[in-house]
């Protein structure tokens, strides 16, 4: 079964601390993994996807097929990073996204 | 670019009535649109996928006769909640994907909050 697991509902850190939001997935085949972010009172927007292997707003995520993980990391959290983060999965020829439950990141001054 | 709008942003209706929610891609042609439902503090649950000009594909457990989806053009999809009941109260979000947006990237609308009294 296709599934995305985000084990933490809330991650609370202080400004400047490293952040790692965990995401594990279950998928038979070659998935495409994404991180979406939803800032307060804003729509969901794509943060990054594994195939582009880029850093957005200081965030990076590496697909680890052995551990079936796609954790989101940032070395120094900023207050403006506070938001809801969703990990999502899609597959080649698989016409939809499956979302994890989401992790709320709260960055305190 | 790649903006998706929804109308209305919120709606209150009486139990037993129907309500239509529109999803529009403003600057690209959306070959595929998706409808999600989000309960408070929960994740997005895909309800259905619609491709322009064809019938929507509903996820398991979603009543297609209750949630009517029409994707008649490349820029518009509608979700009609028929005979709405209080348990249908939720946040409904659409997303769209087209050839311009890439293979898998979906752009999301701002959502529509439906309250059934």
Pick from B35, B79, B21, B30: nearest CA to B52: B30
Average pLDDT over residues A76-101: 88
- Distance (Å, whole) CA B59 – CA B90: 17
Point out the least confidently predicted range of A7-16, A46-55, A73-82.
A46-55
| pLDDT for B52 | 83
Q: Mind listing the pLDDT tens digit for each residue in B62-100?
A: 999 999 999 888 899 999 999 999 999 999 999 998 766
Residues of B in contact with A97 (CB under 8 A): 34, 46, 95, 104, 106
Checking if the pLDDT of A7 tops 90, the result is yes
Helices (H) and strands (E) in chain A, counts: 0, 11
Residue A102 has its nearest CB partner, among B43, B105, B109, at B43
| pLDDT for A5 | 96
Q: Which residue of B has its CA nearest to A33?
A: B104
Contact B104 A102 (CB under 8 A): no
Q: Mind listing the pLDDT tens digit for each residue in B30-64?
A: 888 999 999 887 889 999 999 888 889 999 999 99
Indicate the burial class of A101 (C-beta count within 10 angstroms; 0-12, 13-18, 19 or more).
middle
Residues of A in contact with B45 (CB under 8 A): 99
| pLDDT for B29 | 87
| pLDDT for A92 | 67
| pLDDT for B103 | 58
pLDDT band for A68, please (50, 70, 90 cuts): very high
- Distance (Å, whole) CA A38 – CA A31: 22
| pLDDT for B43 | 86
């Amino acid at each position: 079964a296709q599934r995305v697991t985000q084990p933490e509902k809330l991650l609370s850190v202080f400004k400047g601390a490293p952040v790692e939001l965990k995401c594990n997935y279950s998928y038979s085949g070659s998935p495409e993994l994404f991180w979406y972010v939803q800032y307060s009172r804003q729509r969901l927007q794509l943060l990054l996807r594994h195939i582009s292997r880029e850093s957005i707003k200081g965030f990076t995520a590496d697909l680890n097929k052995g551990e079936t993980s796609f954790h989101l990391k940032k070395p120094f959290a900023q207050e403006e990073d506070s938001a809801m983060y969703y990990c999502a999965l899609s597959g080649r020829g698989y016409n939809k996204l499956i979302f994890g439950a989401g992790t709320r990141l709260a960055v305190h001054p | 670019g790649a903006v998706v709008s929804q109308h209305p942003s919120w709606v209150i209706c009486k139990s037993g009535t129907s309500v239509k929610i529109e999803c529009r891609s403003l600057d690209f042609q959306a070959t595929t649109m998706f409808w999600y439902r989000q309960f408070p503090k929960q994740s997005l649950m895909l309800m259905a996928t619609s491709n322009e000009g064809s019938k929507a594909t509903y996820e398991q457990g979603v009543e297609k006769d209750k949630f009517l989806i029409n994707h008649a053009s490349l820029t518009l999809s509608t979700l009609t909640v028929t005979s709405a009941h209080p348990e249908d109260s939720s946040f409904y979000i659409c997303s769209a994907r087209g050839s311009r947006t890439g293979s898998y990237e979906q752009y999301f609308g701002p959502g529509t909050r439906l309250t059934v009294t």
